[in-house]
Chains A and B, each alone.
Chain A
């Protein structure tokens, strides 16, 4: 090799490294970059089913109603709603002068079209959510009337999510079932492009009804499954915000002066679903006697789980809503650990100890740690929890088939308490993996659906809570926190309990 070659090679390397390392990806500050924990599914409000998809929709598709930080339902595309005295009609007044991203007007006809599409489109996941609606009537260009089959107070809460998203009828008719590839809604940002598993890009919608409060020109969503890599991207400035930060990263984020953490107790709960009447396994173990389930309750120290696994960041709980929720029944507080009482209850139930329990646990690090803590605490009281780590999709099938005795399950939670209770405790409902069936509970759950407002419904839920605490099939453990980490430059961002990322009012300093 001659010196000339060496010089050439060296020059080449320098040029290459200048290109590789020097040309920083300096992007405009108004491109807000969000790191998602997964790649969303189809972006069609009728066909979408994933939680992560809802995060994208929060910037893309406005809904008739939304929630505020106190979980109150507030108008978004609607201005108001009134329910008739018999509870069978809901009249919704719409916000005037609202446009879709394609310039079409968002009016009563568009609302009728969208709700009808949610109800009748093949493959729509919104059909069960709007199942109570029998007819949608356009009263005038800015008024819609929903006629219900029977009074159903959780309907308003359904309209704060995808069932309340209104799409452009023109675009939806043209695109058919391909609408999700280029959705056209009435949200603050409009769709630009999506590269599967890589990025979703949205840009500010110039005619948005609340445009004065939107301060980003572009929003880019990047799915990054690995939480360590997601955080590394935030630290390196490649992302401005990341969702679903693990509790174990809180310390590191708080120690970094360039990062901030927005957190709030979520709508979710984690509990032990106990098989009490789902096929043969329900006749054994925790299904033997309600006192066995009560014994397990006294064997577990919820605060210890929170301290050991989640650095004390989550909230221990014993109901399907968290202790800060207006529907929380304070007359049934979280009980402390009492091993002696647990042993007495097991003895009274005539159970021979140690009582072996097949404990199905989804395969993720946090669930495994929680299961191990439960296993060791329950052992002292006379339980022998045998942990069976199972891939999540498989665990759902096994739970439905009754192939378990205890199942550590997380529920993402709903704004309305009905969404956290009805399907889990009413006889034969799809999420009732426990097999529990009590006609009195069914009647009370139905009564709660027919009443309006916290004052009217809370006493009904109190009765249900009492029965479920005594004999129910779910032992509630804790409520996770929504943990969103972001750059210290982000100003005006407010995190709500549903975990969605709402950019209205937020800006980069």
Chain B
């Protein structure tokens, strides 16, 4: 087992290396000169030259890469050109925000998506099934920015129940934190719920028509027990895989939703950085996100191995 994990970890090294090269190269394909953006409206040549020298932008791209990767290997992701703050500090302050939003969105998505998916399968062909299908379709096809703005108008402007935007940490004020994040979490969760609902419905229909469910019913078990204990457990495996994938996407930051609700997470950080050509921030955030993905993948692999001994060979 230890050897296997070590082998997988070693295999990760070239992956991370290639990811770092791709991140760096793709960013330099972006048109627009970061030094010009940084120099501001006045476009002074002396200032531009000074910025180029300070951030090694006057060096060939492979040399710039070496400067960056040398820093990364020693735990230094660089400094934001625009904010003059260490990228690692930005990452560590934004990650918990994005994480909180992702967890809340996933809870909402699972409760709505899985719940409605099961109901829809159980009541297949009836009015409730059609209603849930329509709801799922609406969830999938509603654009996040539209739903976000509509929620703000309803709950903040008209009813005055929730803050229109902003963020408060749960460690600072738990209820206030919930009030600021419930709308963006719902917007994010809503889209995922639609997808989860359709997958749950499909998987449940398959499970409900299988032999073991027929046997369970023949034994005279209550329908509720058949659905929850027998069918649902088996049907949820592909749903969990899908949920995990969606969760990974949420962790990389929900750009539009964070922008609308002014949530200071990864999405907003990276958008601002791209528009300002703040290379170090873009590189740092994408590297952290990509590494998280790779690590989650590894953990999933290890999880499979632990669950299924046949994979150990």
Q: In the assembly, what is the distance between CA of A232 and CA of B46, in Å?
A: 42
Residues of B with C-beta under 8 A to A197? 262, 264, 268-269, 272
Cβ proximity bits B71-92 to A, threshold 8 Å, 1 near / 0 not: 0000000000011110000100
Q: A41-B82, A196-B264 are in contact. Are A238 and B42 (CB under 8 A)?
A: no
Q: List 30 A-B residue pairs with CB atoms under 8 Å apart, sorted by A's residue number.
A: A20-B175, A20-B182, A21-B162, A21-B179, A23-B175, A25-B179, A38-B272, A41-B83, A42-B82, A42-B83, A42-B84, A123-B51, A125-B44, A128-B46, A177-B84, A178-B84, A181-B84, A181-B85, A195-B264, A196-B93, A197-B268, A226-B260, A229-B164, A236-B156, A238-B163, A391-B32, A393-B277, A398-B31, A430-B42, A431-B43
Instruction: Quote the shortest CB–CB distance from A411 to chain B (angstroms).
Output: 7
Extra contacts besides A42-B85, A238-B164 (10): CB < 8 Å:
A21-B179, A23-B176, A25-B176, A180-B84, A196-B83, A197-B269, A222-B262, A229-B261, A393-B31, A400-B43
Least CB distance from B1 to A in Å reads 42
Closest-by-CB residue of B relative to A178 is B84
Contacts of A174 in B (CB 8 A): none
Decide if A235 is an interface residue (CB 8 Å cutoff): yes
Does B67 belong to the interface (CB within 8 Å)? no
Q: Is the CB of A223 within 8 A of B262?
A: yes
6 tightest Cβ-Cβ pairs between the two chains A and B = A393-B32, A49-B40, A198-B264, A197-B264, A430-B43, A394-B31
Residues of chain A contacted by B178 (CB below 8 angstroms): 19-20
Q: Which residues of B contact A125 (CB under 8 A)?
A: 39-40, 42, 44, 47
A396's contact among B37, B84, B157, by CB below 8 Å, is which? B37
A253 to B272: give the CA distance in the assembly, Å.
Answer: 28
A504 within 8 Å of B by Cβ? no
Contact bitstring A154-196, B, C-beta under 8 A = 1, else 0? 0000000000000000000000011011000000000000011
Q: Mark B264-294, 1 if CB is under 8 A from A, else 0.
A: 1000110010011100000000000000000
Q: How far is the CB of B278 from chain A (nearest CB, A)?
A: 10
Q: Which of A19, A50, A128 contacts B42 (CB 8 A)?
A: A128
A423 at the binding interface (Cβ < 8 Å)? yes
User: Taking the nearest CB of chain B, how far is it from the CB of A71, in angstroms?
Assistant: 19
Complex CA distance for A475 and B12, rounded to whole angstroms: 57
- A42 to B85 alpha-carbon distance, docked (Å): 8
Q: In this complex, which of B156, B164, B275 has the most chain A Cβ atoms within 10 angstroms of its Cβ? A: B164
Q: Which residues from chain A contact B82 at a C-beta distance below 8 Å?
A: 41-42
Is B163's CB under 8 angstroms from A195's CB? Answer: no
**Cross-chain contact A423 with B156 (CB below 8 angstroms):** no
A397 in contact with B83 (CB, 8 Å): no
| B44 contacts A430, C-beta separation under 8 Å | yes
Asked whether any CB of chain B lies closer than 8 Å to the CB of A122, the reply is yes
Q: Is the interface of B mostly helix, strand, loop or mixed?
A: helix
CB distance from B302 to the nearest CB of A (A): 35
Contact with A along B4-43 (1 / 0, CB 8 A): 0000000000000000000000000001110011111111
Closest B residue to A411 by CB, please name it.
B41
Instruction: Judge if B165 is at the interface, Cβ distance under 8 Å.
Output: yes
Binary contact track A206-250/B, C-beta < 8 Å → 1, others 0 = 000000000000000011111011001101111000000000000
In the assembled complex, A127 has its CB within 8 A of some CB on chain B: yes
Known A20-B182, A23-B175, A197-B264; contact A232-B156, beta-carbon cutoff 8 A: yes
Name the B residues within 8 Å of A20 (CB-CB).
161-162, 175, 178-179, 182
Interface positions, chain B 157-187, Cβ under 8 Å from A, are 157, 160-167, 175-176, 178-179, 182
CA distance A396 to B276 in the complex (A): 12
Contact A224 B32 (CB under 8 A): no
Complex Cα–Cα for A461 and B54 (A): 39
Q: How many B residues, CB 8 Å from partner?
A: 54
Interface flags for A38-69 (1: CB within 8 Å of B; 0: not) read 11011010010111000000000000000000
- B45 contacts the other chain (Cβ, under 8 Å)? yes
Interface residues of A in 62-114 (CB under 8 A from B): none
Report whether B149 and A228 are in contact in the complex, using a CB–CB cutoff of 8 Å: yes
Closest B residue to A239 by beta carbon equals: B164
**A 387-418 to B, binary, CB cutoff 8 A, 1 in contact else 0:** 00001111011101000000000011000000
The size class of the interface chain A forms with chain B is: 35 or more
Whether, in the assembled complex, B133 has its beta carbon less than 8 Å from a beta carbon of chain A, the answer is no
| Given contacts A232-B152, A397-B31, A222 and B40 within 8 Å (CB-CB) | no
Contact B36 A400 (CB under 8 A): yes
| B206 touches A (CB below 8 Å) | no
Q: Is the CB of B259 within 8 A of A225?
A: yes
Report yes or no: B37 in contact with A393, Cβ–Cβ below 8 A. Answer: yes
Q: Is the CB of A233 within 8 A of B164?
A: yes
Contact for A196 among B39, B54, B85, B277, CB less than 8 A: B85
Is the beta-carbon distance between A229 and B93 smaller than 8 angstroms? no
A49-B39 in contact (CB<8A): yes
B142 close to A (CB within 8 Å): no
For A18, the closest partner residue in chain B by CB is B175
Q: Within 8 Å of chain A (Cβ to Cβ): is B304?
A: no
Contacts of A225 in B (CB 8 A): 259, 262
CA distance A435 to B90 in the complex (A): 41
Q: Is there a chain A Cβ closer than 8 Å to B153's Cβ?
A: yes
Out of A127, A195, A430, which one reaches B93, CB within 8 Å?
A195
Nearest residue (CB) in B for A228 is B149
A210 to chain B, nearest CB (A): 30
Q: How far is the CB of A49 from chain B (nearest CB, A)?
A: 4
Most buried by B among A38, A177, A198, A392: A198
Is B50 engaged at the interface, CB distance under 8 Å to the other chain? yes
Which residues on B sit within 8 Å (CB–CB) of A229? 149, 152, 164-165, 260-262
Q: Flag B87-105 by CB within 8 Å of A: 1 or 0 each.
A: 0001001100000000000
Against A, the Cβ 8 Å flags (1 = close, 0 = not) of B233-275 are 0000000000000000000000000011110100011001001
Closest residue on chain A to residue B36 by CB atoms: A396
Contacts of A177 in B (CB 8 A): 84
State the Cβ distance, A298 to closest chain B Cβ, in Å: 30
- In the complex, what residues of A have CB within 8 A of residue B160's CB? 24, 236-237
- Name the distance in Å between B274's Cβ and chain A's nearest Cβ: 9
Contacting residues, chain B, for A39 (C-beta < 8 A): 272
Write the nearest CB–CB distance from A246 to chain B, whole angstroms: 15
A129 partner residues in chain B, CB cutoff 8 A: 42
Are A397 and B163 CB-contacts (below 8 A) given A20-B178, A430-B43, A430-B44? Answer: no
Cα(A226)–Cα(B144), bound, Å? 14
Residues of B within 8 A of A233 (CB): 156, 164-165
How far is it, in angstroms, between the C-alpha of A398 and the C-alpha of B31 when the chains are bound? 9
Quick one: closest A residue to B265, CB to CB? A197
The docked-state distance in angstroms from the alpha carbon of A198 to that of B39 is 24
**Residue numbers in B under 8 Å from A232 (CB-CB):** 149, 152-153, 156-157, 164-165
Q: What's the nearest-Cβ distance from chain A to residue B31, in Å?
A: 4
